[in-house]
Amino acid sequence: MVRKNQFHLGLLAILILTNYFVWVAVGEAAAHSLRVYFLNVGQGDAILLRTPTGEDILIDGGPDDSVLAELGKILPVWDTTLDLVVATHTDADHITGLVSVLKRYQIKEVLTPPPGRSTSISAAWQQAIMQGPIINYVDAADDYQWGDVSWDTLLPLSSIDIVSTDTNNTSIVAKLTYESNSLLLTGDMEAPAESLFMQIYPALSAEILKVAHHGSKNSSNTLWLQMINPEIAVISVGKNSYGHPSPDTLGRLQAVGADIYRTDQNGTIEMIFTDNGYSVKANGQKKFYQN
């Protein structure tokens, strides 16, 4: 019996040490790369950023609590702090999971649109963020710098200067840049917001595009895509009755030469940015794109 207990204790010690050295190796690799995870949360958005300087940023939280399980697969068990949580807009498929995240994790800061059209979930969100984190109601001056990683908020221009009262077209839109590569985050922006964007930023482009509104036919118009000219297009989408992603949108993405990844087909999609390019890992396979 004593030998059996000693064996179990020894095995437990080995597992703990193995886990420790695995996370040390992961940490050393992360110190030289930006990691972006498009989480598989069904019909909704949730994106985790892990910066080379150690910050964890969560953008949206999906339509339910599944974001917690997805975060648990990536973050070490002892890592219960998120440096920034971003709610691109207050639709249920983007913030429902964030309410649960605020209960489970310690949040330093929240970037969110101001209270607008009230729903049960938006009211729950407002109540949750009043419990402790710094609250930053978004405008285009809200930029962040984490080492060599820069976050440039592009839309909305201000908390009162918005495209319309439609929550999709008041989504937070931001460009994330590391080394020579960039990722454009679009929330659920549709054609009206895209038109405004092209007027304000007529020469903006990005290698990676988070496709707006789950590939809706009302987003990602041809002129917009030609201006952004993405190499990679990532669609966060799950089983739905809306027809997302639209065949028209998929056709427009293919027409500009973008490689398309989808969370409903590829699961959680991991992107690793380094100083000489970036890689995309989906379905256990990795493809490297060199600068």
How do the domains of the chain map onto residue ranges? Answer: 31-285
Spatial separation of the C-alpha atoms in residues 191 and 91, rounded to whole Å? 18
Summarised one tens digit per residue, pLDDT across range 123-171 is 999 999 998 899 999 999 999 999 999 999 999 987 655 445 688 999 9
Residue bearing the bigger pLDDT, 277 or 2: 277
- DSSP E strands, 115-189: 134-137, 144-146, 149-155, 173-178, 181-185
- pLDDT value at residue 5: 62
Say whether pLDDT at 215 is over 90.
yes
CATH, domain 31-285, list 3.40.1350.10, 3.60.15.10, 3.40.50.170, 3.40.50.720: 3.60.15.10
Residue bearing the bigger pLDDT, 72 or 19: 72
- pLDDT value at residue 24: 41
Span of 30-39, 68-77, 122-131 with lowest mean pLDDT = 30-39
- Looking at the DSSP bridge assignments, the partners of residue 233 are 209, 260
- Looking at the DSSP bridge assignments, the partners of residue 177 are 150, 182
